[in-house]
Every structure is written in structure tokens, then in C-alpha cells.
Copies of this chain bind each other. A is one copy, B any other.
């Protein structure tokens, strides 16, 4: 039964921490353009949430020398589930140990992926304490919808570059019970990308091969709108405010995400998810395998091809010798 339970032990993506060399502009991007709410500050970090995120924060923006991933936090489905996962992580060799917590949550167990991405797993969380003037009559929403920017609704997923997709994918499946939903499989049998989830979402976590040979890099963090029009609205806002839209709006084949990719002023890629994609309720889901010759439709179901840099740019940035395509 412990084996049956494992795939239910991790419940959700709780938060992501990113580093930025330009916190003022990064915060302007997330707060003024994406309508996110600042909930706390401590040291070099500012805590943010979307208006339908229920917890203290889902994004921690920390000043750093360069852009990149701080860590990814996962919440388990119970205290028991946390204990079971920590026991396995300890055995795995990738566990790092407990911390007392952070603003917004209690004790967390830190670990790394085989590629070195810092992660933590936890149970105790603080809910957002909504100020009086932000209280809403919509009782399943933690606060009023903002009247600033084109406000994102909730955190959706994180996408990580990995020197080896398969090893990292297996680690998340074996130790944390993630399900493989879709993957790109090259003709030599290696995996170019893998989309993993613990819920009906197609992914809370993806790994894509790091074509520059980096380790532990961030490809993007994604916030969710649910409505295609908001990608169009945001595209205008970003263009008018000189934020680079790397790609989109387009529709991926993988995950059926209608999406837009922008580079926030600190240098990290941010995805905005503009519809509901599809949801996986089948408990016996067979992973969708996109073979090398099918990869075009996997990447773009409709819309323009992604630019070259999409497959190479990540944070921290690796400077490439200039080359033509």
C-alpha cells in the first residue's frame, strides 16, 4: 500500500524562488504588469502571489548576482506523506536535510535533483492573510481580483533544463511519485523533454535537455490565466512597455498549452498560460510519446515555430560564441 500511496504523496507545486540581478525592475514586471501582490519582504527577498494563490506566496524574488533558480518547493498531501517521501529521499543520496522553514511555511526537507536543481518538500504552510480592503465576497477566492496590469491567477508549473532528462525524470518519479504524462523521444532512445505531474495538470514540472551542457538551470516559471484573451491583452502591455516577448501566443502540442514566453527584466524566462490545456483524469494514463519526426507538432500545434534561442537560453545565462543558425 505504501507503493500505492506514493503517487499521491506529493500534492502540488507550492512555490518557486528565482534570483534576479535587478530586483526593482523584476518586481515592477511581476507587480505592475502581471498584477501580482507583494505579501512580505525579508533580507534580499520579496514574496509575491497571484490573486488566486491561497498561500503566503508562490514566488520568492531574491536579489542575486545573476538570474536563475533559487529553489522549487513541493507540498505533500499530508504529514504522513511528507515522512514517507523524506525517508525515500534520504536513501536516494540526494537529500540535504531539514530547515526550520521560511516566511510562509514551516519545516521543509531540502534536496537536489541529480542535475543539482535545489528543491524542498514540506507540509506546513501559512495561508495568505488578506487585508480588510482586499476581502472579496467570492468565498472561494482568497482576495479581490486586482485592478492593475493583466493579473495572473495562480502558479502553474516550472520547467527546468537538465543535462540528462531521463535521469532527472526517473528521480522525480521514483522518489516523489510523479507521473510521466508526455515526452519527446529521440531516434537514439534518449529523451529530449519530459512533462511530469502529480495532479490532472499535464505538468507541474518539466525537464528539457540543456543544449549548452549546463547543469541545474531554469528554463521558465509559469503563471496561469486560463483565458486566451489575456495573452492578447498581455502581449499589448508587454510590447508597449518594452518587455521582450520571446514567443507566442502560440499553442503547444505537448500539454495543449496556449502560451506566451517573456523575459522578465532580471533575465528569467516567464511563461504565461492562456487556456486550460487539457486535464488527465485517466488513472491508467499511458505517456504520450512524441518521436523525433513528430516533434514539430509537439512543440507547436499551431502558430509560428519557436525561435532558436528558446532551445538554448536559460538562467543562469551561458554565453555562447556567436554563430549563425
Give A233-270 as 1s and 0s: 1 = Cβ < 8 Å from B's Cβ atoms: 00111111100010111110111101000000000000
Contact between B138 and A199, CB atoms less than 8 A apart: no
Contact between B136 and A283, CB atoms less than 8 A apart: no
Known: A52-B278, A281-B199. A294 touches B240 (CB 8 A): no
Contact between B253 and A283, CB atoms less than 8 A apart: no
A77 to B238, CA, bound (A): 36
Give A32-52 as 1s and 0s: 1 = Cβ < 8 Å from B's Cβ atoms: 110000000000000000001
User: Is A302 close to B, CB under 8 A?
Assistant: yes
A1 to B237, CA, bound (A): 45
Query: Chain B contacts of A236 at CB under 8 A?
Result: 145, 251, 301-302
A63 to B87, CA, bound (A): 56
Contact between A4 and B253, CB atoms less than 8 A apart: no
Contact between A182 and B140, CB atoms less than 8 A apart: yes
Contact between B302 and A239, CB atoms less than 8 A apart: yes
Give the shortest distance, in Å, between A325 (CB) and chain B (any CB).
Answer: 10
User: Is A5 close to B, CB under 8 A?
Assistant: yes
Query: Chain B contacts of A298 at CB under 8 A?
Result: 139
**Stretch in A96-104, A159-167, A205-213, A223-231 touching the partner:** A223-231
Partner of A230, one of B76, B229, B241, B302: B229
Q: How many copies of this protein are present in the complex? A: 4
Give the shortest distance, in Å, between A194 (CB) and chain B (any CB).
Answer: 14
User: Is A12 close to B, CB under 8 A?
Assistant: yes
Contact between B144 and A240, CB atoms less than 8 A apart: yes
Give the shortest distance, in Å, between A228 (CB) and chain B (any CB).
Answer: 6
Contact between A227 and B275, CB atoms less than 8 A apart: yes
A52 to B251, CA, bound (A): 16
User: Is A137 close to B, CB under 8 A?
Assistant: yes
User: Is A118 close to B, CB under 8 A?
Assistant: no
Known: A226-B276, A229-B229, A236-B145. A138 touches B303 (CB 8 A): no
User: Is A11 close to B, CB under 8 A?
Assistant: yes
Query: Chain B contacts of A136 at CB under 8 A?
Result: 240
Partner of A304, one of B230, B238, B303: B303
Partner of A139, one of B1, B2, B288: B288
User: Is A297 close to B, CB under 8 A?
Assistant: yes
Give the shortest distance, in Å, between A286 (CB) and chain B (any CB).
Answer: 9
Contact between A258 and B283, CB atoms less than 8 A apart: no
